């Protein structure tokens, strides 16, 4: 089976900047979310699925995954992941979590194929193993170069005010690099709904 372009977010600069070793990325432990309920990296309180109606995602399974040995975020075809390490929190914790998925595999639509259809105000729901859910509202969307994504404050900044999710996939509209990967990524930022 030929492997087509997938999400490939080079994070070598990020790893060097944050001092994160690709071999020692670990899940964070239990922390409070903005609602005061615990959010953990494993067990029943861990995130287990994501829904984004505007992107055709309905209870898409998500699992924790760290950097590849090459220092990239690179989910397998058909998989959506929440990124563990690089100072990112578990989806639902105060801080910025990263959920990533491929846009195409073998020239066929993959998990986040319709993510670029979302707009400000669309809802993102994260479900947890204990049956709880949390809703997030998309506040911004943006196409970013691979290099720009590595330094994007909305994704990698150390904000401690709200529970935020950065949903990331490839964006093929700017074409492909010589290694077959897209030149850009699509990023949607969502913040936990309050009130």
**Hey, where are the domains in the chain?**
9-192
Q: Give the tokens for residue 32.
A: 């409070």
What pLDDT is attached to residue 185? 92
Q: Give the pLDDT confidence score for residue 41 in this predicted structure.
A: 75
Tell me the two tokens of residue 49.
Answer: 């699925």
- pTM score of the predicted model: 0.81
Helix (H) or strand (E) holding 15: helix 12-18
Residues with pLDDT less than 70, the chain: 1-39, 180, 195
- pLDDT per position as a tens digit, 94-126: 999 999 999 988 889 999 999 999 999 999 999
Segment 59-82, tens digit of pLDDT: 999 999 998 888 888 899 999 999
CB atoms within 10 A of CB 11: 26
Residues 102/77, Cβ–Cβ less than 8 Å? yes
CATH 2.40.260.10 matches 9-192: yes
Per-residue pLDDT, 128 = 95
Query: Which of 117, 68, 65 has its CA nearest to residue 91?
Result: 65
Most distant CA pair in the chain, distance: 48
Per-residue three-class SS string for 137-178: EEEEEEEEEHHHHHCCHHHHCCCCCCEEEEEEEEEEEEEECC
Distance CA 21, CA 26 (A): 10
Count the Cβ atoms, other than its own, within 10 Å of residue 46: 21
Instruction: Let me know: does 20 contact 71? Beta carbons within 8 Å.
Output: no
């Amino acid at each position: 089976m030929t492997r087509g372009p997938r999400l490939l977010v080079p994070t070598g600069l990020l790893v060097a900047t944050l001092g994160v070793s690709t071999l020692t990325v670990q899940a964070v432990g239990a922390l409070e979310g903005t609602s005061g309920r615990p959010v953990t990296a494993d067990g029943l309180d861990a995130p287990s699925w994501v829904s984004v109606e505007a992107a055709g995602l309905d209870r898409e399974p998500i699992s924790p995954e760290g950097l590849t040995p090459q220092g990239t975020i690179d989910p397998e075809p058909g998989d959506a992941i929440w990124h563990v390490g690089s100072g990112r929190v578990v989806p639902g914790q105060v801080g910025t979590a990263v959920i990533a998925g491929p846009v195409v595999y073998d020239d066929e639509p993959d998990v986040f194929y319709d993510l670029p259809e979302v707009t400000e105000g669309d809802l993102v729901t994260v479900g947890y193993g204990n049956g709880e859910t949390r809703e997030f509202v998309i506040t911004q969307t943006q196409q970013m170069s691979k290099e720009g994504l590595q330094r994007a404050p909305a994704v990698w900044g150390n904000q401690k005010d709200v529970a935020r999710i950065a949903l990331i996939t490839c964006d093929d509209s700017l074409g492909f690099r010589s290694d077959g990967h897209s030149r850009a990524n699509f990023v949607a930022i969502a913040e936990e709904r309050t009130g």
